Amino acid sequence: MSKTNPYDTAAFMLNIGSLIADGSAARASGKYSATQHFYNAKQRLKSGEQDANNIRQKGNQMVSNAKVAMVAQGGVVDESILARLKQNYDIDAATAMFDARSQANADRAAGRVAEMEGRQKYRANIMRVVSSALAYGSSFKSPGRPPTPNPHKAHGYG
């Protein structure tokens, strides 16, 4: 191997170190972002469940108030009207839950994408490290091809 400039070696080592650090930071950032997205998904589901429960409670209260009003007016309690009223609130509750699940699914998908991007950036930087190492190693001048031993002489035939 021929001599090399120590500054070239130092620059090479710094470059390798920065590539590894950059890739590791990208991977960590992807994991952190994914964790945030997964947490947001859980929160959206909890919020959607709470909204759906609140809507159902309002519906139950409305049905109860309607029943009291029908009785107070001296009329007959019409169960079909009460059932339709309750059905409307049940539909609203189901819609709130569907919206929360849809948003949570989108958050989870975004989390998986962020994690995958971080891994890909890390792998790309590792490939840059390998490429830089190969380029650095090929910059050394070989003194020439070493002599090939004669197999016949090694065994006493030549």
Report yes or no on 149 lying in a domain: no
Q: What is the DSSP letter of 158?
A: -
97-148 confidence digits (pLDDT tens)? 999 999 999 999 999 999 999 999 999 999 999 988 888 877 766 666 666 6
Give the pLDDT of residue 36.
97
Question: pLDDT higher for 151 or 108?
Answer: 108
- Tracing tokens 């950059």 back to the chain, one arrives at 22
Measured between alpha carbons, how far is residue 59 from residues 50, 92, 101, 123, 134 in Å? Answer: 14, 9, 22, 54, 71
Q: How many domains does the chain have?
A: 1
Mean pLDDT of 43-68: 96
Give the pLDDT of residue 1.
43
Q: Does residue 31 surpass a pLDDT of 80?
A: yes
Question: pLDDT higher for 9 or 21?
Answer: 21
Report yes or no on 2 lying in a domain: no
* Structural domain for 114, as ranges: 11-141
| Residue-averaged pLDDT of the chain | 88
Report yes or no on 72 lying in a domain: yes
Exposure of 142 in the CB half-sphere (CA atoms within 13 A): 5
CA–CA separation, 101 vs 46, rounded Å? 10
Report yes or no on 148 lying in a domain: no
